[in-house]
A = this chain, B = another copy of it.
Amino acid sequence: MTELRKDIFTGRWVIVDRQAAIQPSDFDFGPFTSKPGPCDFCEGHESATPPELYAARPRETSANAPGWTVRIVPNVRPRLRVEGSLDRRAEGFHDLMNGIGAHEIVVETPRHDRSLHQLDPSAIAAVLQAWGTRITDLRRDDRIRHVLIFKNHGAEAGARVSSHSISHLMGLPVTPRTVKAKLTVARDYFTEKERCVYCDVLRQELEDGRRLIAANHLFVALAPFASRFPFEMMILPKRHAAEFATLEGEGHDALARLVQDVLRKLDRAVPGVPYNLALHNSPRRRHKEGYWTTLEDDFHWHLEILPQLWPIAGFEWASGFFYNPTPPEAAARRLAEAGSP
């Protein structure tokens, strides 16, 4: 079991695992070699995982059997568990609650030897569709405040269990700090100007052009002005949208093509680069006509792609400041020129 503990000095939440990794051998902080397949996420190994929560598979195939293209299963080592109650409580000055929530694994492909950028746009679109479906489903659980979706590609970016292409989906009982910071800025901006800050910046970036990486009729990929990481990318819908899960057919297809394009550009510019990907979506905020809705004018969902090329060190931990040796304008030019599919 895990506990959610709040740091009184900063307001930051931490998931503390009571399993107690404590021996030096419990950690592996040296060079890491990924294991060859097949693994528990491979097609034909469906019985090695808990029963599937979702699968994109032809009707003639059976659940938990081969034939799927995307499969979502509960994490066997979940950081948060669905069963139980939060039991929010104090321990003197300290705040804590039980580690309740959801932790699911989105298996993005049946093949062990394919990374996300090596999939066809239609296979990537199926992953995006799966994310949206599970977000909508997890929103029904009143204990869950925010659904977080992220991906670790490469051991240096945290993919230590398997090199099989997966993403993580977590339903959190608190709104995370980073999400809260973004929401607050966007809400304050909207309150003052009655405009979305993401829409405003996007318009400026499209006119300026120096930080544009790629675009299609629905989405734009750009290098953020204050990129923390070399080759950092942000993908936004061109038209204002607070909620990722409202995306459908053509939206999934267009986003899948852009995601494939920019991940391939990244891999051409810096071959084999490890990266993290995260979906920043509007958390559930309003109860309306019997179900929770998140449609707000003051947030604009986006994807962040964070290449891990540069060590995070004392400077970043001590300050929350970042040092980036690669100007976003130079990164955008390099990525834009790295060809398209």
Q: Which residue numbers of A lie inside 8 Å of B, CB to CB?
A: 5-22, 24, 26-27, 29-31, 79, 91-94, 148-152, 155-160, 168, 170, 172, 176-179, 181-182, 185-186, 197-198, 200-201, 204, 208, 224-228, 230, 269-271, 273-274, 276-280, 304, 306, 308-315, 317-328, 330-331, 334
Contact = CB atoms under 8 A, between A and B. Distances in A.
A291 B29 CA distance: 46
Number of copies: 2
B8 A312 contact: no
Contact of A26 (B11, B91, B325): B325
Given A27-B270, A172-B321, 18 more contacts: A5-B225, A7-B226, A7-B228, A8-B225, A9-B185, A10-B181, A12-B321, A13-B322, A14-B227, A14-B321, A17-B327, A19-B325, A152-B314, A177-B320, A177-B321, A278-B314, A304-B318, A306-B317
Nearest to A322: B14
Contact of A16 (B148, B182, B227, B278): B227
A106 to B, nearest CB: 12
Contact of A323 (B17, B24, B201): B17
A269 B27 CA distance: 12
Contacts of A30: 31, 156
Nearest to A224: B7
A93 B198 CA distance: 11
Given A29-B156, A314-B150, A315-B148, A12 B322 contact: yes
Contacts of A278: 314, 317-318
A10 B179 CA distance: 9
B312 A312 contact: yes
Contacts of A319: 148, 172, 176-179
Contact of A318 (B17, B178, B323): B178
Contacts of A172: 319, 321
A201 to B, nearest CB: 5
Contacts of A270: 24, 27
14 contacts: A8-B197, A9-B197, A11-B181, A12-B320, A12-B322, A15-B321, A15-B322, A17-B323, A20-B326, A22-B230, A148-B318, A176-B321, A177-B320, A181-B320
A117 to B, nearest CB: 16
Given A21-B325, A315-B150, A92 B208 contact: yes
